[in-house]
Structure 1
């Protein structure tokens, strides 16, 4: 079969009459006619005996778009033969030759090829023969150049979307994010292998620029993925990778069309060098200090490196082979990377599960230890509660029965023979009533049945009589407590403070006058005991530390109030202020 080629113009519908030169297939016309963008007609002439079986023609590829004529009759034609060109450069072609057009003897097959010098324009292997045999060859070639490419593209898109979802749920793991960007960028590169429509670009240059820019992003994202996968940070190398992407993008977009081949070659070689440097660095790390997952990934990378070098040589024209193997090996690499990420993910889950198991055991031990500690603390609290109850009982006995006994003893000492029997009986009843108050308080914490004014009334009567028996004038002021209902313990604390304060006046003050005020207003409850006695001997050095004084201070603190004693030249003032006492309760 004789093959000839001749140049023509973009709009030529017929081959030229002259300028034909003999060529051999596969042919790249940029090596013969540098910088020629346009149309080249290929004329294939062969001797055809009378066909005994259907005859067909198969073309490995036709770069970039074209039309096929048999003996001057059109057989097939791509939609776009001028810019933007139909992108059938990677598609094998099969066409049956109609018997009505075949001649016994010399036949001519004309192929109109539209292409640009920057993108290796020309014609691949052409075979004319038995239709059945060529159909099988075409099916195999189509599966290799189209179906497998499309299958790989779907895998890339699926894995990219899967790890994108993982990254969105776990953004702190940058490895997933870089893998996603790498997959999406490679998807754009792989798309160039299978699409035939020039959309959405208006020129072939725009298509090629987008593909090469995506390849640059893929290379940089691959570097970032490897660095993060190794749990490392290389700020300078990472900055250099993205700076190279930016410079490459700017160069591809700004370079004039006539310098596109040089720019593409420089960018492709530079990116390939960076990519291979990353691969070699990772291989060194994986087999020197890496983990099992690193070594698993390194095996996938070795395979990809070989295909990448082959495709680079084909891209820059060193090899005339039109087959590109990185789209296939890239799927192997992508799947390997996904499996390694899955391995790491599962390993992390297992570590989390082991941690959770250890945590469960630890929590169980902590619970047991806490239960033991709480049990011991409960025992201590119970013991302290018993002790506090005894102390409170002691204070109540001191402040109540103790005061009554002191006042009764004082009365007997002053006039032991003048006291009538009814007075003894009255003293015993008062001691009984005071003891009943202590018992009721110890057995109940509910709101009392009687108001504070009703509770203080009997105490006021009793203490007034005791003070007057000692020639101490007593004046009471009670206001605002008629509707004040408190818990029994709170009422008892207030009464005991009053009782202890007046007992001290009776025992120590030598006073002639004493005034007691129990008042309630919007600022709380205020209790004031004022006398004109000699005061406290220990006042100059601070509060005295007797049992009664400590008891009053503790009771005021328990009520949430303050306790204060002030001494002037002619009087002693004891005051208790309770601002936050719940005074507005109604009886239960």
Structure 2
């Protein structure tokens, strides 16, 4: 049975009719020579794949196509010969005249399996009657070797078929390649600037693999001197890994994570990687088929299950992707997978790829738009919240300011109370003690002297409220002199012996605030001795040791229970002294037993 192909050249009315197609293995030392007449086998049609006749055969096969050519008038226009593909490399003769051949007919072979070829046949090349076209094919059995459609006829009709094959095998793949590169770069940049969008990162990786896979289909010469089977190993592995990353990006697009399933895909890819790299050549055909079936099966299963995953995500862009995968990718992949496996029919995915790439771009744009809208809504809510918090903060600051004013006033009152207690109160106690121990009534001069002492102490209280104009006395002796003078009179009248021991010079940095605080503490200590101790000896001392000021007042009075006094909280004097010393970073130590009470002040310099 023969297949007839008619091509018409209306201007000259020439006809080329295919009468017979035959094939035979090459002969000779390298099994590449012309076959003998008895070796030719008739085949029914093209495309033809010789694995159907000679399984596991790799090498040279010749095809002999016999055409009947005649013209009603004298031929005045050239004819055209075209072949849709030659798998893998080839050589063409017409009427025993060499016409064309690939660059490499030895390993590594040139690659024509996805490359339509055409040749212009000048007037006179074809003779009236029988004409023979010989096509030598160098192929590898694992890659299903053979030839595609062969056409001989006028320029217009054959060129139209050639352009159809070129569109299907070259142009559509090139368009898809360009679109995928653009989308992959956009997705990669989105992922680089926003690492949380892992779906875009996986899509960029899947796109990279798909671009490599398409690029390997488009190239016509071997890369890096790779042999044909090595090239096929790499291409098969790329396709499987591409399917795995496609599953991952679609899952991440719906915010779906399945760690066990993802690890399974990873181990599957690793296993096939090892098998692909180290599988012996005699088992490679089986491995390539298994790898292809597994990859297509995973892809189809993902297309079937993904609508459920998208439904659970509650995201519009996931719904759109699920619709595309289930209604477009699933039927196309099923059809093309069967076509490749059975070597029948045309691939539809090449026609749909540019459109699906645009659809994916729209879905990604929807994803980015929703993310941006979410950011804008968040910014709006954040602005309102910031405004609300600012208002609340202003109210809180105003309230805090009022509380600080009240607290400042309260602190001033407490400070004034402490100053009056430690200063004017101490003077009143001294005056009262002096009057109590005076046997005669006070005359005007004595009474005026008491009042002057009270006035001086009141001035000191007023001046201590601001230390701006206060200076530190030159020596500790000068600093303690006024206090020593006032209390010596009282202690002398009471018969109390007072020992004063102070250094001749200051050591370290002493401020006016320190001097005032220490003076008030000293006056309070001595006043307490007058009021409560019933002592007959008092020691007042100051010294400097290891960068520390140490001052103490010790008496031999009746003493008191320090724990009970602290717990009762009734000792205004002790609280006042502690408060003053805390302000100048000093400490107060109180030790008291019957016969010895010692109050020590320590300040780091």
| TM-score for the superposition, normalised by structure 2 | 0.88
| C-alpha deviation, 1:81, in angstroms | 0.9
Counterpart-to-counterpart distance in 2, 1:249 and 1:475: 99
Match of 1:3 in 2: 21
| C-alpha deviation, 1:385, in angstroms | 1.1
Query: CA, structure 1 residues 463+288, in 2 after alignment: closer, same or farther (shift >3 Å)?
Result: closer
Note the residue ranges of structure 1 that are not aligned, 5 or more in a row: 584-588
Decide which moves more: 306-315 or 527-536.
306-315
Are the equivalent residues in 2 in contact too, given 1:201–1:207 (CA < 8 A)? no
> Which of 576, 581, 584 is the matching residue for 1:556?
581
Are the equivalent residues in 1 in contact too, given 2:168–2:350 (CA < 8 A)? no
Runs of 4+ in 1 over 6 A off after TM superposition: none
Question: Is 2:34 the partner of 1:15?
Answer: yes
Counterpart-to-counterpart distance in 2, 1:58 and 1:443: 109
Are the equivalent residues in 1 in contact too, given 2:175–2:354 (CA < 8 A)? no
Note the residue ranges of structure 2 that are not aligned, 5 or more in a row: 1-17
Counterpart-to-counterpart distance in 1, 2:576 and 2:301: 86
Counterpart-to-counterpart distance in 2, 1:364 and 1:109: 85
| C-alpha deviation, 1:281, in angstroms | 0.5
Match of 1:294 in 2: 318
> Which of 347, 350, 365 is the matching residue for 1:342?
365
Decide which moves more: 551-560 or 119-128.
551-560
| C-alpha deviation, 1:79, in angstroms | 0.8
Question: Is 2:99 the partner of 1:75?
Answer: yes
| C-alpha deviation, 1:414, in angstroms | 2.0
Counterparts of 1:487-498 in structure 2, within 5 Å, are 487-498=511-522
Match of 2:336 in 1: 311
| C-alpha deviation, 1:41, in angstroms | 1.4
Are the equivalent residues in 1 in contact too, given 2:82–2:117 (CA < 8 A)? yes
Query: CA, structure 1 residues 234+466, in 2 after alignment: closer, same or farther (shift >3 Å)?
Result: same
Query: CA, structure 1 residues 567+163, in 2 after alignment: closer, same or farther (shift >3 Å)?
Result: same
Counterpart-to-counterpart distance in 2, 1:530 and 1:266: 102
Counterpart-to-counterpart distance in 1, 2:303 and 2:523: 93
Counterpart-to-counterpart distance in 2, 1:137 and 1:560: 100
| TM-score for the superposition, normalised by structure 1 | 0.90
| C-alpha deviation, 1:113, in angstroms | 1.0
Tell me the alpha carbon deviations over residues 452-491 of structure 1, each in whole angstroms, 9 at most, x when there is no partner. 7344332222222332232222221222753666554432
Match of 2:49 in 1: 28
Counterparts of 1:74-223 in structure 2, within 5 Å, are 74-223=98-247
Counterpart-to-counterpart distance in 1, 2:138 and 2:460: 116
Counterpart-to-counterpart distance in 1, 2:119 and 2:24: 23
Question: Is 2:548 the partner of 1:524?
Answer: yes
Aligned length, in residue pairs: 577
| C-alpha deviation, 1:285, in angstroms | 4.2
Decide which moves more: 326-335 or 459-468.
326-335
Decide which moves more: 37-46 or 131-140.
131-140
Match of 1:437 in 2: 460
Query: CA, structure 1 residues 343+476, in 2 after alignment: closer, same or farther (shift >3 Å)?
Result: same
| Coordinate RMSD, CA, aligned | 2.6
Counterpart-to-counterpart distance in 2, 1:251 and 1:425: 117
Decide which moves more: 450-459 or 118-127.
450-459
Question: Is 2:360 the partner of 1:354?
Answer: no
| C-alpha deviation, 1:278, in angstroms | 1.0
Tell me the alpha carbon deviations over residues 423-464 of structure 1, each in whole angstroms, 9 at most, x when there is no partner. 444433332332222222213457735457344332222222
Decide which moves more: 82-91 or 487-496.
487-496
Are the equivalent residues in 2 in contact too, given 1:28–1:121 (CA < 8 A)? yes
Are the equivalent residues in 2 in contact too, given 1:91–1:142 (CA < 8 A)? yes
Are the equivalent residues in 2 in contact too, given 1:441–1:488 (CA < 8 A)? no
Are the equivalent residues in 2 in contact too, given 1:475–1:514 (CA < 8 A)? yes
Are the equivalent residues in 2 in contact too, given 1:451–1:484 (CA < 8 A)? no
Are the equivalent residues in 2 in contact too, given 1:452–1:491 (CA < 8 A)? no
| C-alpha deviation, 1:288, in angstroms | 7.8
> Which of 273, 280, 284 is the matching residue for 1:249?
273
| C-alpha deviation, 1:507, in angstroms | 2.2
Counterpart-to-counterpart distance in 1, 2:159 and 2:562: 121
Match of 1:586 in 2: none
Counterpart-to-counterpart distance in 2, 1:118 and 1:291: 44
